[in-house]
């Protein structure tokens, strides 16, 4: 029997890798996409085949986490074996600019999904994209028993989603799990997250297209892993005998400064000659250090990450240098249009 999965956030970094993984395992994959005035499916275009084809395995449906009735109709119609709720306003700095929207999508969006599962009466397993941001001010190492202390509207919204997922597990016997994932990155990472911002800037500086990049707090420590390995962990959580919550992390923490240094050095550049400070990249409250302990996932799911932040920096620089070589100036302009035509690769946030 072919398994069916529904992925919200399929156009995002994780959604695209998860769709790839599920298709490679023979799943029929359904994805929720938002209607936009321009195409927003670049990360999954390579997976798409004409839905009229008998070989079609990927199906996209318009919808939004703010539209509960639509979610009920969709779930009833698709009747998936597994639901992966990855959609969210996922940028921490942006959540301070748009706290209410973040609460609606990243927080209330989850209860709309869970209610849609319950009201449509389908039998499915449910994955919730929880985050290491839940730990916030609690010092590392962090595991499933570490107390939460959210430090942003994003983290507060994810805290609600974490608890409501757990509540639906206990109240209704739903196979619902929280994956508490530490930062994970890739060449498909959104361009305004710090790793990708750095590796894109390195590529542009190396090519002589810009001189500097403006950054915020370089002292923050993050446990950066590789996104394709993390979506494998999500899938494993839904294959377990019993529902449980799991941390996914590499256990290796490095500062933003060290990531900068490795990325620039990899391209033969000195980061100190190119990095400038701009306070607009600071957050009103910062998360100083996240380093995860994923012993439970290693022991119970057999999940083992192989790429840490240092290796990621090199891998992502190589990918961005190659992308720039391939696509040229248009590659930079694509993001600058969204950042009010800042003349260099900065991102607005």
Active site residue 133: yes
Report the C-alpha gap between 86 and 105 in whole angstroms. 11
Binding to ligand F7E (CB under 6 A): which residues in 279-298?
A: 281, 283, 286-287
The reply to whether 183 sits near ligand NAP by the rule CB under 6 A is yes
Q: Which does 216 bind (CB under 5 to 8 A by kind): ligand NAP, ligand F7E, none?
A: ligand F7E
Interface with ligand F7E, residue 194, by CB under 6 A: yes
Binding part of the chain for ligand F7E, among 97-105, 159-167, 209-217, 313-321 by CB under 6 A, reads 209-217
Q: Is the peptide bond before 141 cis (omega within 30 degrees of 0)?
A: yes
CB 332 within 8 A of CB 347: no
Q: Which of 86, 205, 312, 324 binds ligand NAP (CB under 6 A)?
A: 86
Our finding on whether 27 is near ligand F7E (CB under 6 A) is: no
Contacts for 199 with CB less than 8 Å, ≥ 6 apart: 263, 313, 316, 317, 319, 320
List the interface residues with ligand NAP, window 6-65 (CB under 6 A): 8-9, 11-15, 32, 34, 36, 40, 64-65
Question: Which residue, 81 or 293, has its beta carbon nearer to ligand F7E?
Answer: 293
The dihedral through the CA atoms of 141, 142, 147, 148 has a sign that is: positive
* Residue 193 within binding range of ligand F7E, rule CB under 6 A: yes
Is residue 90 close enough to count as binding ligand F7E by CB under 6 A?
yes
Q: What is the largest CA-CA distance in the chain?
A: 59
Give the nearer residue to ligand NAP in terms of CB position, either 154 or 267: 154
81/133 with CB nearer ligand NAP: 133
Whole-Å CA distances, 230 to 3, 199, 220, 233, 266: 21, 20, 22, 5, 25
Phi/psi of residue 73, nearest 5 degrees? -60, -45
Tell which residue, 51, 78, 74, 53, has the closest CA to residue 62.
74
DSSP string, 271-324: GGGTEEE-GGGS-SS---B--B--HHIIIII-------HHHHHHHHHHHHHHHH
Map the footprint of ligand F7E across residues 214-243, applying CB under 6 A: 215-217, 220, 222
Respond yes or no: is residue 108 known to be catalytic.
no
Question: Pick from 14, 20, 133, 293: which binds ligand F7E (CB under 6 A)?
Answer: 133
Catalytic residue among 131, 152, 161, 186: 131
CB-nearest residue to ligand NAP: 12
Which C-beta is closer to ligand F7E: that of 62 or that of 277?
A: 277
Pair 278, 342: CB distance under 8 Å: no
With respect to ligand NAP, which residue has the nearer C-beta, 180 or 267? 180
Instruction: Decide if residue 87 touches ligand NAP (CB under 6 A).
Output: yes
**Can you tell me the distance from the alpha carbon of 236 to that of 22, in angstroms, rounded to the nearest whole number?**
11
Beta strands in the chain (DSSP E): 4-8, 28-33, 58-62, 82-85, 125-131, 175-181, 184-185, 213-215, 221-222, 225-226, 246-248, 254-255, 275-277
Residues forming the site for ligand NAP (CB under 6 A): 8-9, 11-15, 32, 34, 36, 40, 64-66, 86-90, 105, 129, 131, 181, 183-184, 190
Residues forming the site for ligand F7E (CB under 6 A): 90, 92-93, 131-133, 182-183, 192-194, 197, 215-217, 220, 222, 256, 281, 283, 286-287
- The residues carrying an active-site annotation are 131, 133, 154
């Amino acid at each position: 029997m072919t398994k069916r999965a529904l992925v919200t956030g399929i156009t995002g970094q994780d959604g695209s890798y998860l769709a790839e993984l599920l298709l490679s395992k023979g799943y029929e994959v359904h994805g929720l996409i938002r209607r936009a005035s321009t195409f927003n499916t670049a990360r999954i275009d390579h997976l798409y085949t004409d839905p009229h084809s008998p070989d079609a395995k990927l199906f996209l449906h318009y919808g939004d986490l703010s539209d509960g009735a639509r979610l009920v109709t969709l779930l009833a119609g698709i009747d998936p074996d597994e639901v992966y709720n990855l959609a969210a306003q996922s940028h921490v700095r942006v959540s301070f600019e748009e706290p209410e929207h973040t609460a609606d999508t990243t927080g209330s969006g989850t209860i709309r999904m869970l209610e849609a599962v319950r009201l449509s009466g389908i039998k499915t397993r449910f994955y919730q994209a929880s985050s290491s941001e839940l730990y916030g001010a609690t010092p590392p190492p962090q595991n499933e028993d570490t107390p939460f202390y959210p430090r942003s509207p994003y983290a507060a919204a994810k805290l609600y989603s974490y608890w409501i997922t757990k509540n639906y597990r206990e109240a209704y016997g739903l196979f619902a799990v929280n994956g508490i994932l530490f930062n994970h990155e890739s060449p498909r990472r959104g361009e305004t997250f710090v790793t990708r911002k750095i590796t894109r800037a390195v590529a542009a500086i190396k090519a002589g297209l810009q001189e500097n990049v403006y950054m915020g707090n370089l002292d923050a420590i993050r446990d950066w892993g590789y996104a394709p390995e993390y979506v494998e962990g999500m899938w494993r959580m839904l294959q377990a005998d019993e529902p449980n919550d799991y941390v996914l992390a590499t256990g290796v923490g490095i500062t933003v400064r060290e990531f900068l240094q490795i990325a620039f050095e990899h391209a033969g550049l000195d980061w100190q000659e190119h990095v400038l400070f701009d306070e607009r990249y600071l957050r009103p409250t910062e998360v100083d250090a996240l380093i995860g302990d994923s012993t439970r996932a290693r022991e119970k799911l057999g999940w083992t990450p192989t790429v840490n932040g240092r290796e990621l920096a090199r891998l992502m620089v190589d990918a961005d240098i190659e992308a720039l070589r391939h696509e040229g100036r248009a590659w930079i302009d694509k993001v600058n249009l969204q950042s009010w035509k800042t003349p260099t690769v900065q991102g607005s946030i």
